[in-house]
Amino acid sequence: MTTDVFAVLADPHRRRVLELVAARERTAGELAAEFDVSRPAVSRHLRVLKEAGLVTCRQDAQRRIYRLDPGPLTEVAGWVDRMRGYWAGRLDALEDHLDANPEVPNASR
Amino acid sequence: MTTDVFAVLADPHRRRVLELVAARERTAGELAAEFDVSRPAVSRHLRVLKEAGLVTCRQDAQRRIYRLDPGPLTEVAGWVDRMRGYWAGRLDALEDHLDANPEVPNASR
DNA sequence: AGGTTACGTAAACCTATGGTTACATAGGCG
DNA sequence: CGCCTATGTAACCATAGGTTTACGTAACCT
């Protein structure tokens, strides 16, 4: 049971699904029609997305209507921001370093 | 040649590498020491990260010193923000809808 | 030069994962 | 009640990708 959001987002099909349901709710059929792959394949992607909490599924008669739940995306956004934060913080120290060692990465050449 | 940033970030080892090099530069050896897996495995992860442009590699004698390049992360941040944007935008319309149709998703039951 | 350190690369292996076809289920519809 | 629509599940197959062992290579040290 893949519950890792990053891994779930790794597949382009799944990202596309999220883009589609972000705009508005979609039935499984509508979603499947957007892809070149078979319906069961889409169905599996939907299950993965559902297990990851990225979509919710409402049932209307035979139709399953999928909707985006952006909640788990905060983990991703947070991680990325943290990376960029660390990077930005490190830049100051780096500038000092480069200031002291102007362009001499390999002196023995 | 996996150049898809999302796919690159799917592996926890690679994310951990990025976290490590975000704090400060690290040699391949330092990085490898952080993991339970073998060195060649780490080496391959580093190559993937390098190909994706997420790290750069400077050479100091025998050592390879890796550094974060957060550039490609903007694509991820952008995508996530876009998803959340669409979602937020859709909420207004949804509220209106729910306002008009109070809790009657399936009238024929 | 010989040895050691620090890496990367190559080839083989194995598992996870995504794809397909065939089948099951569940709910309208005549 | 049969039938069609909409969708998920099961079983199976193929490939991608991560891991390992073994090897190659470059640079420092004495």
Q: What is the dihedral of CA B48, A53, A22, A76, to 10 degrees?
A: -40
Q: Could you tell me which of B53, B14, B62, B21 has the C-alpha nearest to residue B35?
A: B14
**Could you give the CA distance from residue B33 to residue B50 in angstroms, rounded to a whole number?**
19
C-beta separation of A46 from A57 below 8 A: yes
Determine if strand D comes within 7 Å of the CB of A28.
Answer: yes
Helix, strand and coil percent figures for chain A, each rounded to 5:
60, 15, 30
Helices (H), B52-72: none
A105 CA from D2 C1′ (Å): 81
pLDDT per position as a tens digit, A21-54? 999 999 999 999 999 999 999 999 999 999 999 9
Strand partners, A57: A66
**Pick from A55, A63, A54: which is nearest to A28 by CA?**
A63
Question: Which nucleotide lies nearest residue B39, CA to C1'?
Answer: C7
Pick the CATH number of A5-68 from 1.10.10.10, 3.30.2230.10, 3.40.718.10, 1.20.58.2030: 1.10.10.10
- Closest residue to C9 measured CA to C1′: B40
The residue whose two tokens read 């970030």 is: B9
Structure letter (DSSP) for residue B24: S
Indicate which of A6, A16, A74 best probes the interface with B, i.e. most B CBs within 10 Å of its own CB. Answer: A6
In contact, B25 and B66? CB cutoff 8 Å: yes
Torsion of CA A24, A29, A35, A36, to 10 degrees: -170
Encode pLDDT of B17-35 as tens digits: 999 999 999 999 999 999 9
Per-domain boundaries in chain A: 5-68, 71-100
Residues B33-88 pLDDT 10s: 999 999 999 999 999 999 999 999 999 999 999 999 999 999 999 999 999 987 77
Q: Comparing A37 with B108, which gets the higher pLDDT?
A: A37
Q: How many Å apart are CA A48 and CA A54, to the nearest integer?
A: 9
Contacts (Cβ under 8 Å, ≥6 apart) of A53: A69, A71, A72
- In 3D space, the residue among B37, B92, B29 whose CA is nearest the CA of residue B64 turns out to be B29
Phi, psi of B52 (to 5 degrees): -80, -5
Q: How far is B53 from chain A (nearest CA, A)?
A: 14
CB contact under 8 A, A80 and B76: yes
| pLDDT > 70: percent of chain A | 79
